[in-house]
Amino acid sequence: MDRFLAMQTFVRAASSRSFTRTAAQLGISRSLVTRHIAALEQNLGVTLFNRSTRSIRLTEDGASYLQSCERILLDLESSERALAQGRGKPSGTLSIAAPKSFGTMYLGDAIIDFATVQPDLRVSLTLGDFTFRAQDFVDSGHDVAIRTVDIRDSSIIARRVGTFPFVLCASPRYIAEMGQPRDLEALAAHRCLVHSNSNEYDRRWNFTGPSGAATVKINGDFLSNSSLALRKAALAHLGIGLVPHYCIVEDLASGALVQVLPAYRPLPQPILVAYPHGVAPPAKVRVFVAFLAKWFAQRPEWAQPKARIRDNRRKR
C-alpha cells in the first residue's frame, strides 16, 4: 500500500463524504478508493468511516486520524514546495479577517508589529462580526482568518498560535444587590450574560475547579455575539459575565468589575489562524503563523489574571 496516496484519498473522502465523489475528484476508480480506505483501516485496526447507502461519516477514530493526516500531508507538501521553488520571500498582499472585539482590543497590535517586520508585504486587516462558518473568510477573498472557537471543517487548516483567558466577573453593585454566589450551582439563580455565537454550548460554562473539570448551565436575558457588549452589560449591573480578560483589564484594576468565584478557572479559548486546505500555504501565510505563535508566547499578560477580589459580606 502506498501510505501517502491512501492518506490523501482518506482526507479527500472525509471532505467530500462520498467515495464516488472522491474517485471523481482524484481521477481514480471508486473501487480503488474503497481499497485505500480498507487498507488504512486494516493497518490501523480501527473503523475510519460509518458508511450508509447515501454518505459516509467520520468515526471518532477517523476524526482523530484526519488531523494527523492533514498535518503530515501539509508538512510533506510544504517540504516539496520549499525544495522545488525555494522558500521565497513573502510578497504581495496578506488579507486577514478577524473578530471585531478581539481585533480591536488586542490583535491589532500583533498585526502592526508583523507589518513592521515585513515591510515588503502589504497587510490588510478586516474586522467585523463575521459568521462562525469556517469557510466564509475564503468566500470573501481573505487569505487567513483569526478565529477564537474550534473549527471542525476538513477543508480548513487551523493552526493554534495561542490561547487567552476568560474571567467570571460582575459589578460590585450587582454583587451587593444580588449576593455573591457560593459555588457554580448558585449561578443558576443569577442573571448571566450570554455570548451568542450559534454554539450549542452558549448556555454552558466550563471551568477547572478544586475538584477538577466542572460545567454549569446558566440563564440570562441579555445575549450578544460581542464581548465588548457583554462588558458594557456587566458594567451596567445587568448580571454576571464570562468575558475575555483582554476586554476588562482596566475594569478589574479600577474595581469597576470584580472577579466572581475565583477558585474556579474558566477554560481558555484558542487563538487559531485558519486558511484553506489543499496546497501548501504560501510564504506570506507561513511567516504570519510563525510570527503570531511567537508574539503571543512572549506576552505573559495572557496568563490567568489575578484580579482584586472584594469581600462581599452578603451571600446568596
**What is residue 303's predicted lDDT score, i.e. its pLDDT?**
45
Average pLDDT of span 228-242: 96
Assess whether pLDDT exceeds 90 at residue 242: yes
Q: What's the pLDDT at 195? A: 85
pLDDT at 39: 93
Lowest mean pLDDT among 41-55, 156-170, 258-272, 295-309: 295-309
- The burial class, CB within 10 Å (0-12 / 13-18 / 19+), for 37 is buried
Q: Specify the pLDDT at position 83.
A: 62
> pLDDT tier at 85 (50, 70, 90 boundaries)?
low
Tell me, what's the pLDDT at 137? 78
Look at residue 78 in the predicted model and tell me its pLDDT.
78
Phi-psi region of 255 (alpha: psi -120 to 50; beta: other; left: phi over 0): left
pLDDT confidence of 293, banded at 50, 70, 90?
Answer: very high
Q: Distance between CA atoms of 13 and 63, rounded to whole angstroms?
A: 12
Name the grid cell of 142: 481573505
Q: With 90 as the cut, is the pLDDT of residue 233 above it? A: yes
Determine how many CB atoms are found less than 10 A away from the CB of residue 74: 18
Beta bridge partners of 197: none
- Beta strands 240-244 and 204-209 are unpaired
Q: Tens digit of pLDDT for each residue in 171-226?
A: 999 999 999 999 999 999 999 999 886 454 567 899 998 888 999 998 888 998 88
Lowest mean pLDDT among 34-43, 102-111, 176-185: 102-111
Estimate to the nearest angstrom the gap between the alpha carbon of 216 and the chain centroid. 21
Domains and CATH numbers, the chain: 3-85 (1.10.10.10), 93-154+270-298 (3.40.190.10), 166-266 (3.40.190.290)
pLDDT at 102: 86
Q: How far apart are CA 145 and CA 138, in angstroms?
A: 8
- Length of the chain as a residue count: 316
How many angstroms from the chain centroid is the CA of residue 315?
36
Which has the minimum average pLDDT: 24-33, 44-53, 77-86?
77-86
What percent of the chain shows pLDDT beyond 70? 87
Residue 312's pLDDT is 39
Mean pLDDT of 248-268: 94
pLDDT at 313 (0 to 100): 35
pLDDT at 190: 94
Place 129 in a pLDDT band, splitting at 50, 70 and 90: low
